[in-house]
């Protein structure tokens, strides 16, 4: 390869590939093919955003977290509490949820990101547990164990009312996911995003080339928290309900499972893993309401044994 | 007398009862070709970690071109031109060679934290990285993940990473470690061709390499400097032969 073409090939990696249209075509097609499942579809789209936010920290920066539900739940509660107390405007609700989650991400990140590996994992878990317990104690505003009741979400732009069938909710989630994906994709392909992969691959080297590693990790942790907050707010607004389970360890763990099934660190793992997991969960729980978790577990075992890189990892293997 | 490019004064570091650097006074003249040798566990790599800021000393001072940098974090020292390589290859293993070097160049240019333009638009950084690979004969595998190329080449990438940072003082920690002698010649040639105003400290076990490159040698034993001098004097020093070269002093 000549030097010009090597540099060109390298410099062109951020350009859009035709395959990247696939998830969006599939999402629009699903709207027409499964009109009876739009509510589930909206949940899937919002959860993809949650998994995408986790991918930015885990897959790109190598920050192992078991506390991402803290940000998801914070976004959900902020949007939910606003809507339950007379401010049901959805867009500002989303932004408020994002801002609150980002603030929590920044402040907790200042503390937890001083560590790495298992210590970091435990600290993220501690932060999430503390937030969940705070929400439980503050039942006068969060509704505690009963969940947050009485949300009233206004029509989007004063025009598009959230309907019973989920038409509005579906497109609302789809558009917000699309915008957030554009932002995430832009970040990943920026010099900052590239430096995150450096941090994931070799922290010592990153220090040795003079990169402010801690600051970079804090920035992506905050951005990721904001996206997780938007995801939680989306689910709160479209289901008009928030409960303590939004902040649970199970929620933090499940999003990682969905991401791992899809493939970590490739930006598209969320788009495969989340629908796969949630559709499987939906089907399994209908067929076998008691033991459906067993089948999810089996799916996870199959992925770990036969497809270490998740579904995307399988594609990569076939391409070679 | 010239201001030394790098200087340590009474540098001390211990882990509990184990002293790994004991009042080390060390000078590196501008443009030096200086080697630091010593038996395993002498504290050579620890010395590098202390000087670069990966470890904090318990006492003592580190001066870079006369300025006290003891309190500066590693990244700040890199910005001042103090750069190291690793004895055990420390690269971004799954990223391509070109990406490895481009990351280093982006940090040096201060654009590594940029969020707004795509990395691919910083063309001058990529071109500079590629030019450096050409210079070192690594360009034919520029887009290969670094963990798929031969080990000798990984050692060259290790050197390329440090050169990408435009060092003023370069600490090479066993640059030819683990490389078969048939390939180590290329690495030695690259080091010989480095610009003469670049200050060089080579930590090395390979005596051929040391005597070929160094114009001054420091011998370190158990965290202390034992002796320092030109290569001929070191080679002839009976004490050095006894503790390090493993020969009995002539009777």
- Rounded Cα distance between A132 and A125, Å, is 11
Domains for chain B: give ranges and CATH numbers: 6-91+167-243 (3.40.50.300)
Tell me, yes or no, if A320 comes closer than 8 A to chain B by beta carbon: no
Question: CB-CB: which of A6, A7, A210 is closest to B107?
Answer: A210
What totals of helices (H) and strands (E) does chain B contain, helices first?
9, 10
pLDDT of A79-101, one tens digit each? Answer: 999 999 999 999 999 999 999 99
CB contact (8 A) between residue B86 and residue A194: no
Residue B114 pLDDT level (bands cut at 50, 70, 90)? very high
CB contact (8 A) between residue B75 and residue A207: yes
Tell me, yes or no, if A17 comes closer than 8 A to chain B by beta carbon: no
Tell me the torsion sign for CA atoms B221, B214, B194, B142.
Answer: negative
CB contact (8 A) between residue B119 and residue A207: no
Mutation target among A190, A220, A226, A320 for the B interface, most CBs of B within 10 A: A190
Full 3-state SS string of chain A: CCHHHHHHHHHCCCCCCHHHHHHHHHHHHHHHHCHHHHHHHHHHHHHHHHHHHHHHHHHHCCCCCCCCHHHHHHHHHHHHHHHHCCCCCHHHHHHHHHHHHHHHHHHHHHHHCCCCHHHHHHHHHHHHHHHHHHHHHCHHHHCHHHCECCCCCCCECCCECCCCCCHHHHHHHHHHHHHHHHHHHHHHCCHHHHHHHHHHHCHHHHHHCCCCHHHHHHHHHHHHHHHHHHHHHHHHHHHCCECHHHHCHHHHHHHHHHHHHHCCCCCCHHHHHHHHHHHHHHHHHHHCCCCHHHHHHHHHHHHHHHCCCHHHHHHHHHHC
The Cα of A208 is separated from the nearest Cα of chain B by a number of Å equal to 7
Closest by CA to B223, choosing from B10, B32, B2, B7, is B10
Q: Are the CB atoms for B162 and B131 separated by under 8 Å?
A: no
- Rounded Cα distance between A138 and B242, Å, is 74
Q: Beta partners for B21?
A: B13
Please check the confidence at residue A151 and state whether its pLDDT lies above 50.
yes
DSSP summary character for residue B203: E
Query: Given this model, what pLDDT does residue B75 score?
Result: 93
In chain A, pLDDT over 70 holds for what percent of residues? 98
Residues of chain A contacting residue B107, judged by C-beta atoms under 8 Å apart? 195, 209-211
For residue B218 the two structure tokens come to 């420091």
Please check the confidence at residue B251 and state whether its pLDDT lies above 60.
no
Arithmetic mean of pLDDT, A212-231? 97
**A&B contacts, CB < 8 Å:** 131
Q: Are the CB atoms for B60 and B10 separated by under 8 Å?
A: yes
Closest by CA to B131, choosing from B142, B143, B118, is B142
* B6-15, strands of its sheet edge to edge: B18-28, B6-15, B59-64, B67-68
Residue B239 pLDDT level (bands cut at 50, 70, 90)? confident
- Rounded Cα distance between A30 and B203, Å, is 63
Composition of chain B by helix, strand, coil, percent to 5: 35, 25, 40
In chain A, pLDDT over 90 holds for what percent of residues? 80
Residue A285 pLDDT level (bands cut at 50, 70, 90)? confident
Strands B67-68 and B18-28: what pairing?
Answer: unpaired
The Cα of A175 is separated from the nearest Cα of chain B by a number of Å equal to 22
Coil, helix or strand for B65?
coil
Please check the confidence at residue B247 and state whether its pLDDT lies above 60.
no
pLDDT of B155-167, one tens digit each? Answer: 999 999 999 999 9
CB contact (8 A) between residue A208 and residue B78: yes
Residues of chain A contacting residue B99, judged by C-beta atoms under 8 Å apart? 10, 194
Residues of chain A contacting residue B143, judged by C-beta atoms under 8 Å apart? 1, 6, 9-10
Query: Given this model, what pLDDT does residue A128 score?
Result: 97
Backbone angles phi, psi at B61, to 5 degrees: -135, 145
Strands B224-229 and B216-221: what pairing?
Answer: antiparallel
Average pLDDT value for chain B: 92
Residue B246 pLDDT level (bands cut at 50, 70, 90)? low
Tell me, yes or no, if B56 comes closer than 8 A to chain A by beta carbon: no
Any residues with CB less than 8 A from the CB of A228 and at least 6 apart, and which?
A49, A50, A53, A54, A68, A71, A72, A75, A101
**B85 to chain A: nearest residue by CA?**
A208
Tell me, yes or no, if B121 comes closer than 8 A to chain A by beta carbon: yes
Q: At what angle do helices A90-112 and A69-84 cross, to 10 degrees?
A: 150
Q: Which ipTM score applies to this complex?
A: 0.90
Scored b (16 or more CB within 10 A) or e, A300-311 reads: eeebeeebebbb
Query: Given this model, what pLDDT does residue B250 score?
Result: 47
Average pLDDT value for chain A: 93
Q: How far are the Cα atoms of A23, A59, A197, A229, B27 from residue A19, in angstroms, in the given order?
A: 8, 21, 23, 28, 58
Closest by CA to A144, choosing from A134, A158, A154, is A134
For residue B57 the two structure tokens come to 């000393």
- Rounded Cα distance between A60 and A266, Å, is 8
Neighbouring CB atoms inside 10 A of B31's CB total: 14
Any residues with CB less than 8 A from the CB of B194 and at least 6 apart, and which?
B163, B170, B200
DSSP summary character for residue B193: T
Neighbouring CB atoms inside 10 A of A95's CB total: 17
- Rounded Cα distance between A101 and A120, Å, is 19
Give the least confident one: A165-169, A298-302, B10-14, B186-190.
Answer: A298-302
């Amino acid at each position: 390869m000549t030097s010009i073409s090597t540099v060109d090939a390298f410099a062109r990696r951020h350009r859009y590939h035709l395959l990247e249209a696939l998830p969006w075509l599939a999402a629009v097609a699903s709207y027409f093919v499964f009109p009876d499942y739009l509510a589930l579809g909206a949940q899937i789209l919002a959860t993809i955003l949650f998994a995408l936010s986790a991918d930015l920290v885990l897959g790109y920066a190598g920050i192992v977290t078991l506390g991402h539900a803290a940000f998801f739940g914070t976004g959900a509660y902020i949007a939910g509490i606003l809507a339950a107390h007379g401010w049901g405007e959805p867009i500002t609700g989303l932004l408020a949820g994002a801002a609150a989650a980002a603030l929590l991400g920044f402040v907790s990140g200042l503390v937890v990101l001083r560590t790495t590996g298992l210590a970091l994992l435990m600290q993220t878990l501690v932060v999430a547990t503390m937030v969940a317990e705070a929400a439980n104690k503050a039942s006068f505003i969060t509704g505690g164990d009963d969940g947050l009741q009485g949300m009233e979400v206004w029509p989007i732009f004063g025009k598009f009312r959230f309907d019973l069938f989920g038409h509005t909710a579906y497109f609302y989630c789809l558009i917000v996911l699309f915008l957030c994906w554009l932002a995430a994709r832009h970040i990943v392909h920026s010099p900052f995003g590239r430096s995150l992969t450096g941090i994931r691959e070799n922290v010592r080297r990153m220090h040795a080339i003079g990169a402010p590693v801690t600051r970079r990790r804090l920035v992506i942790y905050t951005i990721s928290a904001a996206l997780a907050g938007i995801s939680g707010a989306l689910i709160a607004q479209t289901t008009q309900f928030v409960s303590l389970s939004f902040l649970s360890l199970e929620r933090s763990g499940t999003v990682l499972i969905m991401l791992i099934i899809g493939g970590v660190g490739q930006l598209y793992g969320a788009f495969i893993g989340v629908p796969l997991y949630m559709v499987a969960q939906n089907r399994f729980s209908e067929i076998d309401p008691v033991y459906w978790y067993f089948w999810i577990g089996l799916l996870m075992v199959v992925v770990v044994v036969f497809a270490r890189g998740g579904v995307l990892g399988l594609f990569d293997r076939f391409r070679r | 007398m010239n201001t030394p490019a790098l200087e340590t004064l009474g540098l001390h570091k211990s882990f509990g009862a184990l002293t790994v650097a004991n009042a080390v006074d060390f000078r590196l003249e501008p443009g030096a070709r200086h080697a630091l040798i010593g038996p395993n566990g002498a504290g050579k790599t620890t010395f590098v970690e202390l000087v670069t800021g990966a470890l904090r000393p318990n006492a003592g001072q580190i001066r870079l071109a006369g300025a006290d940098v003891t309190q500066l974090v590693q990244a700040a020292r890199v910005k001042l031109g103090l750069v190291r390589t690793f004895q055990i290859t420390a690269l971004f293993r799954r990223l391509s060679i070109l990406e490895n070097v481009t990351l280093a160049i982006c940090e040096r240019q201060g654009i590594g934290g940029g969020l707004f333009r795509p990395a691919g638009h910083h063309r001058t950084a990529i071109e500079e990285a590629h030019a450096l690979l050409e210079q070192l004969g690594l360009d034919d595998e520029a887009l290969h993940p670094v963990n798929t190329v031969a080990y000798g080449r990984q050692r060259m990438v290790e050197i390329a990473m440090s050169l990408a940072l435009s060092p003023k003082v370069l600490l090479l920690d066993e640059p030819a470690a683990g490389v078969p002698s048939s390939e180590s010649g290329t690495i030695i040639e690259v080091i010989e061709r480095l610009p003469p105003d670049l200050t060089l400290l080579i930590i090395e076990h390979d005596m051929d390499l040391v005597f070929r490159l160094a114009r001054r040698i420091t011998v370190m034993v158990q965290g202390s400097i034992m002796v320092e001098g030109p290569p001929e004097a070191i080679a002839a020093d009976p004490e050095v032969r006894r503790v390090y070269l493993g020969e009995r002093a002539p009777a």
